[in-house]
Amino acid sequence: MPKSQPIAVVVLAAGKGTRMRSDFPKVLHKAAGRTLLSHVLHAAAGARPQRTVVIAGPDMSAVGAEARQVIPDAVIAIQEKRQGTAHAVGMAQDGLKGFEGTVLVLYGDVPLIRTETIRALAEAVNDESPLAVLGFRAANPTGYGRLIQNRSGRLIAIREELDTTVDERRIDLCNSGFIAVTAKFLWQLLPRIDNNNAKHEYYLTDLVGLTVAEGSQVALAECPEAEVHGVNTRAQLAQIESLLQARYRQSAMDNGATLIDPPSVFLSADTEIGKDVTIEPHVIIGPQVRIGDNVEIMAFSHLEGAKIADGVRIGPYARLRPGAEIGRNAHIGNFVEIKKATIGEGAKANHLTYIGDATVGARSNIGAGTITCNYDGYDKHLTEIGADVFVGSNTALVAPVKVGDASNIAAGSVITENVPEHALAIARGQQAVKPGWAKRYREMKKARKEKKGKA
């Protein structure tokens, strides 16, 4: 079978995740800012399948919705009764009607699988081997099904550990569960699988024995053990998070970023980082963050849904929320929060500031303690700050309001009306000074205290 053979993907995602003690389907739990199912579907999409079918449970509409976020034309098939992996794959038959290429069966709770591995598994299928199995060498094979080979190295069976002999238990070549099989062969053999086993379920692994019995060969593809780790418990979810973070940190450093303390930096699956970026310790980068070149992100900053242009400095202790767009060479300093706002080139907000639902023009300086009052209890409103504006410390800008180019806002002002360009706006109460008042007040308080003590 030529390597150009079209492929289809079936993702098994009907597991409830009972051992996770959760009301959510197992595959919708997240690692590195992305659901387990989304990780698998992104890897599968890289192999460019002609069709994708996701098998969900009858009470899992959210699984189908998540699948279509990644692959809009994915077919969602429902496994009404959970009767094993072979039974689940059978639910995909209508969604694959008329498809004549190679079908790959993947698992929605195995998020570390790579596109390259999926392609290699598909390419292992040929005319002599209509079925291919993905195996791995386990450091400790206990608990895994073993891949049994004959003296020629041909795969002849998958043996569950309870059924293995003493010699077979020494085998470290284990079954991942992933397979690739020609559609014709799959639909020919699937009805022959029975549930004559302890759990009375229909196991996809029985395809191996049936294929050998047909006189055909079973191909073997291998991958690293870590790539096929599944998730059944919260502890395993934490392990997957750790493995994904190690992968993403390494990729960031390989591509020109400096991570001062890699284990303390958390990235997301879709994080984009340019070259010559420095990330200090204890930085968390959530989903949908794009970082340009020559950016410095200082310690204890939290970013999500943000676009950061070249030459920007962020933090320490800064927070960028969804919709934050930071222009070239801008500075966002300590305890500054930006939400749904565009900060112009070279602009600065260096201390203790909230900018939300706003635009800040190039080279403007936002003083410490400034806030944009964007919410009136019912609706959000826009603050527009022009270029070359100086906003004094402790200013409140009550939206909707516009501040013109090259204007100044006096410190401590509450701005409720538009400010024209090149103007000075002062909106604060007039200072009154009463000489000697503090001394008289202290003497009065002291006298009252003494009188109370004598009473």
Distance between CA atoms of residues 114 and 134, nearest Å = 12
Q: Where in the chain is the domain with CATH 2.160.10.10?
A: 234-425
Nearest to 293 by CA among 255, 262, 332: 255
176 token code pair:
């991942």
Distance of CA 18 to the CA centre of its chain: 23
- 140-156 residue pLDDT tens: 999 888 999 988 888 98
Listing DSSP states for 207-229 in one string gives: HHHHHHHTT--EEEEE--GGGG-
Q: For 59-75, what is each residue's pLDDT tens digit?
A: 899 999 999 999 999 99
| % of the chain exceeding 70 in pLDDT | 99
Which tens digit of pLDDT belongs to each residue from 306-353?
A: 999 999 999 999 999 999 999 999 999 999 999 999 999 999 999 999
The residue with greater pLDDT, 125 or 162, is 125
For residue 114, what are its two tokens? 């790579």
64 vs 55: CA distance, rounded Å? 9
Separation of alpha carbons 441 and 198, rounded Å: 88
State whether CATH 3.90.550.10 applies to domain 7-228: yes
* pLDDT at 5 exceeding the cut of 80: yes
Q: Which two tokens stand for residue 284?
A: 């968390």
Predicted local confidence at residue 157, as pLDDT: 87
User: In angstroms, rounded to a whole number, what is the distance separating the alpha carbons of residues 309 and 291?
Assistant: 6
Burial (CB count within 10 angstroms: exposed 0-12, middle 13-18, buried 19+), residue 313: buried
Tokens of 434: 């009463």
pLDDT 10s digits, 7-47? 999 999 998 888 889 988 999 999 999 999 999 999 999 99
The CATH 3.90.550.10 portion of the chain extends over 7-228
Annotation marks residue 351 as catalytic: yes
Superfamily of chain region 234-425: Hexapeptide repeat proteins (2.160.10.10)
pLDDT of residue 431: 86
Which of 87, 351, 381, 422 is an active site residue?
Answer: 351
**pLDDT value at 1 more than 50:** no
Letter for the amino acid at 113? I
